[in-house]
Amino acid sequence: MAAFSPKVMMEKLDEALAEKNVITNYLDIVEKKTNVKKRYLVLGIAGFLGLWLASGYMAAFICNLVGFAYPAYKSVKAIESANKDDDTEWLMYWVVFATFSVVEFFSDLLLSWFPFYFLGKCVFLLWCMAPVSWNGSAMLYKKTIRPFILRNENKIDSVLDRVGAGAKELVDKAAKDGKEMAADVAADVVSTSLKKDE
């Protein structure tokens, strides 16, 4: 991944816009009709979304869409590619995204009242998916999440084993109870039907 510079970022954007897909096909149509380059259309849309996120109207939805749509698309492409480095890159993103979502669940009621919260969240998510060596998901995963998991791996495995055993026991009990109920219902139906025949 390259270091950050506006020129490098514009080159990356131009490379992405040169790919053939549904989005770039629509951008080609708009570019031909308006004579505005795709690069500027995308930058304009990004600026518009930034202002929209700052205003707060449907900001949570837009922010979550940004944090999900592009990474989901890139994850599918990574799965389908022969290169496994991109798989690791997007797995790190999803681990950070999930961790952030859990933390946000508990803090959202307070944080969402701060002005520009969703704009900040969206910038954070964009940083986490940025195609640079210092992107947020790689940094947070390597410096925070991975060390925590490795330090507590045995405890986590123990809890997961107990939860798994408890869930299996619960499912087995539910299946047994279900079979007993089904047998009771069948016996009642047969008994009722025999009484009617008499």
Q: Can you tell me whether residue 132 is helix, strand or coil?
A: strand
Structure tokens at 14: 């131009």
How confident is the model over 137-155, as pLDDT tens digits? 999 999 999 999 999 999 9
Q: Which pLDDT value is given to residue 68?
A: 93
* Whether 140 contacts 96, CB under 8 Å: yes
> Whole-model pTM?
0.66
CA distance 156 to 152: 6
pLDDT < 70: residue spans in the chain:
1-4, 197-198
* Whether 87 contacts 152, CB under 8 Å: no
The residue extents of the domains of the chain are 6-134
Q: Which pLDDT value is given to residue 1?
A: 45
